[in-house]
Amino acid sequence: MPAHRPALTPAVLEKGICSGDRTLLARAITMAESTKPVDQKKISSLLKRLLPRTGKSIRIGITGVPGVGKSTFIEVFGELLARQGKKIGVLTVDPTSQKTKGSILGDKTRMERLSRHPNVFIRPSPTGHALGGVTFHTREAILLCEAAGFDVILIETVGVGQSETIVRGMVDFFLLLVLAGAGDELQGIKKGIMEMADGIVVTKADGENIKAAKQAQADALQALHFQEAPASGWKPKVLTTSSTEGKGIEAVWKMIEDFEMNTKKSGYFGTNRNDQQEQWLEESVALLFNELMHHSTVLKQKTRLMKLVRKNQLLPTEAAQVLWKLVRKTAG
């Protein structure tokens, strides 16, 4: 007979995660992604228990257009850090299959070497209906990985999009990867993302592409020159790398280390973390309100009120007050 498996209580999960049990860590992240009320209650209790063990990592967001080589870069970058004895948590966000609702790219397959390293934990998650290339519960996954003792948390996003910059609100260092050889490449990257980048890396700087990579580096530096100084006081750098040849990877980590040292010294690092906690609260409130607005009872009443508004039988402000009272009643 199979051995009896203990119930996944917050206490059991806490003990397993703190002792380095990767299976329980993965199951806790799955629980955080669940929409079941019982799972959400458990994960909330678990995170409260684990909070004292969180916050000690460096959180790095990695973004860039599809095809820029994010997964290849992360594999080589992660291997470098793992060789230095660091524990790496990689949270990769894949597009969601509309049929299975699961990840369709399979990052563990794309990072085969890295996934086999004992110091590395890779967790692919489907984007679902979340905007910004990150899941609604990426923040919870970050805290769970930190509680498990990971020193560096890497977050790979789907690609550069209108809401992609949400990742900036949950990481310490925001790394933008750009392709070499495209003179108009920087024009295709939204200005807001360029402004929020703490570092820019021109990828695939090897072989016949070296000259183009140097030009892309110069173009990026020129673009940064006209931007306002960031609140961090850090001057973003532009580097070139070759993941296939392993060139420039150590310089990227040195850049991130310098950033961490400088911003902790200035106080920005801690202030930014606090601001992100406030942002998380705001997003959580908005998400909860959105869920309440889509409750069947509220939707039915909204449809009825909309008809009255259209017929000029009810003011929009009156309809809003009726809906607000109903939302409050539903929430209570």
What mean pLDDT is predicted for residues 119-125?
Answer: 88
Q: Is the pLDDT assigned to residue 220 strictly greater than 90?
A: no
Q: What is the pLDDT of residue 229?
A: 82
Q: Is the pLDDT assigned to residue 161 strictly greater than 50?
A: yes
Q: What is the pLDDT of residue 189?
A: 59
**Rounded CA gap, 22 and 44, in Å?**
19
Q: What is the pLDDT of residue 98?
A: 35
pLDDT-wise least confident of 155-169, 187-201, 294-308: 155-169
Mean pLDDT, the chain, as a whole number?
Answer: 85
The total of other beta-carbon atoms located within 10 Å of residue 183's CB is 10
> 244 by DSSP, 3-state: which?
coil
Share of the chain above pLDDT 90, in %: 56
Between these two residues, 192 and 238, which has the higher pLDDT value?
A: 238
Between these two residues, 64 and 110, which has the higher pLDDT value?
A: 64
What mean pLDDT is predicted for residues 326-332?
Answer: 83
**Rounded CA gap, 57 and 21, in Å?**
18
Please, which residues have CB within 8 angstroms of residue 37's CB and are 6 or more apart in sequence? none
Binned at pLDDT 50, 70 and 90, residue 245 comes out as very high
Going by their DSSP bridges, the two strands 173-179 and 152-156 should be labelled as: unpaired
Q: Which residues of 187-216 are buried (b: 16+ CB within 10 A; e: fewer)?
A: eebeeebbebbbbbbbbbbbeebeebbeeb
Which residue type sits at 32?
A
Q: What is the pLDDT of residue 331?
A: 78
Q: Is the pLDDT assigned to residue 269 strictly greater than 80?
A: yes
Q: Is the pLDDT assigned to residue 129 strictly greater than 50?
A: no
Q: Which residues of 24-37 are buried (b: 16+ CB within 10 A; e: fewer)?
A: bbeebbebbbeeee
Q: Is the pLDDT assigned to residue 178 strictly greater than 70?
A: yes
**Rounded CA gap, 277 and 256, in Å?**
22
Q: What is the pLDDT of residue 164?
A: 64
**Rounded CA gap, 93 and 63, in Å?**
11
The answer to whether residues 56 and 150 touch, using CB atoms and an 8 Å cutoff, is no
Q: Is the pLDDT assigned to residue 81 strictly greater than 50?
A: yes
Q: Which residues pair with 126 in a beta bridge?
A: 94
What mean pLDDT is predicted for residues 34-56?
Answer: 92
> 14 by DSSP, 3-state: which?
helix
- Classify residue 181 as exposed, middle or buried by CB count within 10 Å of its CB (0-12, 13-18, 19+): middle
* pLDDT tens per residue across span 297-309: 999 999 999 999 9
For 67-96, the three-class secondary structure string (H helix, E strand, C coil) is CCCHHHHHHHHHHHHHHCCCCEEEEEEECE
Q: Which of 207-211, 265-269, 313-317 has the highest mean pLDDT?
A: 265-269
First to last CA, the chain: 46
Q: What is the pLDDT of residue 94?
A: 55
Is the pTM higher than 0.95? The answer reads no
Q: Is the pLDDT assigned to residue 132 strictly greater than 50?
A: no
**Rounded CA gap, 277 and 282, in Å?**
9
